[in-house]
Structure 1
Amino acid sequence: MSSPSPPLSDLSRLYQTEFVRSARAVGVLWAVCTLCFAIIQVVVLVQPSWIGTGATRHTGLGPVPPSGTLGLFEVCVESDWPVPDCRGGLSSLSPLPSFQSVAVLVGVSLWAVWTSVLCLCLFRFCSAATVYKICAWLQLTAGFCLALACLLFPDSWESPEMRALCGNSVGSFSPGNCSVHWAYILAILGILDAAILATLAFVLANRQDALLPPDAKDVTAGLLMSA
């Protein structure tokens, strides 16, 4: 004789509990990745390692070309001292003339992603779906601005700073004696990170309404807000 099936209310409550647990786990992972992305944005903006030369050796056949790195705000050239000789810096709040538009785009991207981090506090006051959607649009904005910055940066290589560091053969999308360094690669990876985080945020927002039975939506939303 088969055992009686549990009441519909018990099934709904069990489904609701499992959904809230999984939503919390994925939401916490998404929030941690969002914070990591925001920290990466700060590193990308301040580091003078977007492009640079490799190690050079004197061969006696001519003058030794300078060895150093270049960022949006600062140019650092290796010297006889342990610390490189750097010119510029974020403290002046003035990017290098050739990279002003790139610095503005990275700054807007930085503002958008840190605003999405601050919006995590809204889980106490708004529905989870609304907060996820706000953060998703902010992360899309951050990724779009970062993508534009990465596209404009090679177009600005024909500049006095680049010529002094990389030789006269530099031009738009031609780095001359230099090569892209880890900060620029990190910025490109940040675009992918922003796209993944925004997509995940939209999925989490839609699942708040789509996965729950109609009679459990209001209860679950209350539980997520009080978590």
Structure 2
Amino acid sequence: MGSKIEYVDSSHLYATNYVRNSKAIGVLWAIFTICYAIISVVAFVTPEWIGDLETEYPRKFGLWQICKSEDSIEDCKGRLDDFMSINGLVFKIATVLVGIAVALALFTICAMLLFFFCQSTTVFHICGWLQLLSAGCMVAGVAVYPAAWSETSVQETCGPTADQYHLGGLLCYFML
């Protein structure tokens, strides 16, 4: 009889530890998700992935924006509200993929509010799948982006040796 009481007490202890640990994991997951979302948004909106404004053809390239500098005046083209103004098909594809990744990361933060209404395991599954899809889109967008390096505007800035997945000489470098 004494071992049965001991078993009930230990199972209650394990259940209490599980609930406490799942809440701590949920808080850490939320913090890391917010950090990932912030980094994703910054990477998405910055026009400075590659390029240099101190070269013979001063330009910098982001996902959806190309900026030129002439006489200390920066002229940028490519806008999200005018999708056709984005330079090149590959830049557009990369923009869409990274944009979806950012949207899913932000939606994951919103989905964490489900902790107040649903079981934690259900919320972990929902958020886990959203983050997995976000990461997949981010990886795909970053993997597709260098395929645009063979475009004329990139070659004018980075040199004639710039080609898909090869930036060319030392004229260009990654800014992120």
TM-score, structure 1 as length reference:
0.66
Residue number in structure 2 paired with 1:52: 51
Number of aligned residues? 170
Question: Structure 1 residues 66-75 or 104-113, which shifts more?
Answer: 66-75
Deviation at 1:101, TM superposition (A): 0.6
Q: C-alpha separation between the residues in 1 aligned to 2:135 and 2:123? A: 18
Where do residues 79-118 of structure 1 align in structure 2 (5 Å cutoff)?
79-81=70-72, 84-94=74-84, 95-98=86-89, 99-118=91-110
Matched-pair contact (CA < 8 Å) for 2:88–2:148:
no
**Aligned with residue 67 of structure 2, among 54, 61, 76:** 76
Q: C-alpha separation between the residues in 1 aligned to 2:32 and 2:83? A: 28
Task: Report percent identity of matched pairs.
Answer: 35
Matched-pair contact (CA < 8 Å) for 1:54–1:178:
no
Residue number in structure 2 paired with 1:119: 111
**1:148 is the counterpart of 2:147:** no
What letter matches 1:133 in structure 2?
Answer: H
Matched-pair contact (CA < 8 Å) for 1:50–1:181:
yes
Matched-pair contact (CA < 8 Å) for 1:38–1:114:
yes
What letter matches 1:34 in structure 2?
Answer: T
For structure 2, the 5+ residue unaligned runs are none
Q: C-alpha separation between the residues in 1 aligned to 2:107 and 2:40? A: 12
Residue number in structure 2 paired with 1:159: 151
Runs of 4+ aligned residues of structure 1 deviating over 6 Å after TM superposition are none
Q: C-alpha separation between the residues in 2 aligned to 1:34 and 1:16? A: 26
Q: Aligned Cα RMSD in Å?
A: 2.3
Deviation at 1:167, TM superposition (A): 2.8
Deviation at 1:165, TM superposition (A): 2.1
Matched-pair contact (CA < 8 Å) for 2:68–2:75:
yes
Where do residues 1-227 of structure 1 align in structure 2 (5 Å cutoff)?
7-53=6-52, 55-56=54-55, 65-81=56-72, 84-94=74-84, 95-98=86-89, 99-176=91-168, 177-182=171-176
Q: C-alpha separation between the residues in 2 aligned to 1:41 and 1:96? A: 21
**Higher normalized contact order (CA 8 Å, seq sep 6+, divided by chain length):** 1
What letter matches 2:49 in structure 1?
Answer: W
For structure 1, the 5+ residue unaligned runs are 57-64, 183-227
Deviation at 1:92, TM superposition (A): 3.8
Q: C-alpha separation between the residues in 2 aligned to 1:54 and 1:100? A: 23
TM-score, structure 2 as length reference:
0.83
Deviation at 1:162, TM superposition (A): 0.9
Matched-pair contact (CA < 8 Å) for 1:47–1:71:
yes
Matched-pair contact (CA < 8 Å) for 1:72–1:96:
no
Q: Secondary structure at 1:85's aligned position in 2?
A: strand
Q: Secondary structure at 1:48's aligned position in 2?
A: coil
